[in-house]
Amino acid sequence: MPYFRYRALTPRKRSISGRLWALDSTHALQQLEQQGMHKIFLKSPMPWERWLERLKPSSAQEQALCCRQLAILMNSGIPIVLSLEILLRQPLHHRLYQAYNHCLSAVQQGSSLSQAMRKSPAAFDSLYIGLVQVGEKTGNLVENLHGVAGHLEREIELRAKVRAALTYPLVVSALSLTMAYVMVQHILPRFINGLFAESKMELPWFTRALIQFTNFFQNPATVAVCAGLILTLIWLVASYVRTEAGQIQCYEQLMKLKPTRSFLGKVMAVRTARMLATGVDSGLTVSDSLQLTSQACANPYLSRFLEIAAEDLKDGVPLSRCIRAIPFMPPIMSGFIELGEEASGLPPVLMKAAEMMEMDIEEVIQTFTQLLEPILVGGLGAFVGFILIALFIPLYQMLGAS
């Protein structure tokens, strides 16, 4: 949310100035008037500040923090209406603020918190709403809010680990491509044109290929067209992958490879185990927890299999067999669930299974990053070696002939 600068008089008629975050000028004036200020001079934020604020995405950390703060406030005995009002006094992303503000208005009009949250599905997923609804019915709303906050925090940690594994290779690849482009665009043409342009000797095929490659990049129109086509292709692929059909097809292709199937299967198993444990521990039945997990996992490929498992579970099939039927789920998942069914302690067993699979994920990530560095360095070295061979072999022939 943007910040407004203001100058006003306090109830004791002292001049005061500062900054205030608000949705718009009306909201800012309302907040200042509620504090008893008058003769308010308000300076709106710059247009580019509003534009940047609108472009900034809502973070999962902010949602987890709001959920945790709401649970702490209600655990202190503060009524839900006052808790929401206190929560809305802090700077929040404008979409998240509007969602909680709608919740406050609906609760003040007599709706329950879960009913109010259903009106903002973009801000509150099905698991969040479902656990709040169960907490309202069982009287464990505070405990369930803590459970949702813990689940969101673990999701953030898992995403951070996966993102950290991809950041290093992307940075190294970008630097390598940049260096290769500078060599091909600026260094090699001068060297090649000055050395081999007037030579009548028969050049090796790899030297001729290097000359053609550098000449191709010397034409700005050709480079612009190729760059435009590549960017358009990337945009089309990214747009398709954002759709439900695109995500399902992307996962189906990735699941054909054993390494990616093993890694992604563990990632999805961790998310499933934690959601199931949170739901069951909050008072939901196993069937309802599995149904909520399928709706709130934010992965259409995983959701399709979990919906089938939920139907099998309703038909009387044990949960361990339902999970075992999912082809990409690791065996440790169904094994721990079977142990939990026999010991009548499913939530702690699911949490333990998630912890063990997270250890495997961390090990895979570390191995991947350790192997990727020599692979990238080796690829860059092969590119530089090809250039040196393509240049120095005809140079050696020219010096020998002279």
pLDDT digit string (tens) for 25-62?
Answer: 676 667 677 777 766 666 666 665 555 555 565 677 88
8 Å CB contact between 103 and 42: no
pLDDT digits (tens, 9 = 90+) for 271-324: 888 888 878 887 778 888 888 888 777 788 888 898 899 898 888 888 889 888
Output the pLDDT for position 371.
78
Report how far residue 347's alpha carbon sits from residue 273's, in angstroms, rounded to the nearest whole number.
9
The pLDDT of residue 233 = 92
Buried b (16+ CB within 10 A) or exposed e, 141-162: bbbbbbbbbbbbbbbeebeeee
Query: What's the pTM value of the predicted model, to 2 decimals?
Result: 0.66
Domain boundaries, the chain: 3-55, 60-153, 258-352
User: 197 Cβ partners below 8 Å, 6+ apart?
Assistant: none
Output the pLDDT for position 46.
62
| CB 9, CB 102: distance < 8 Å | no
- What is the predicted pLDDT for the residue at 54? 58
Give the pLDDT confidence score for residue 400 in this predicted structure: 61
CA atoms within 13 A on the CB side of 266: 21
Pick the CATH number of 60-153 from 1.10.3210.10, 1.20.81.30, 3.40.50.300, 1.10.1370.30: 1.20.81.30
Q: Which residues of the chain have pLDDT under 50?
A: none
For domain 258-352, the CATH class is mainly alpha
Q: What pLDDT is stored for residue 232 in this prediction?
A: 92
- CB count within 10 Å of CB 242 equals 9
What are the backbone dihedrals phi and psi of residue 39, each rounded to the nearest 5 degrees, phi first? Answer: 50, 55
d(CA 91, CA 304): 37
Alpha-carbon torsion (258, 264, 265, 267), positive or negative: positive
| 268 neighbors 328 (Cβ within 8 angstroms) | yes
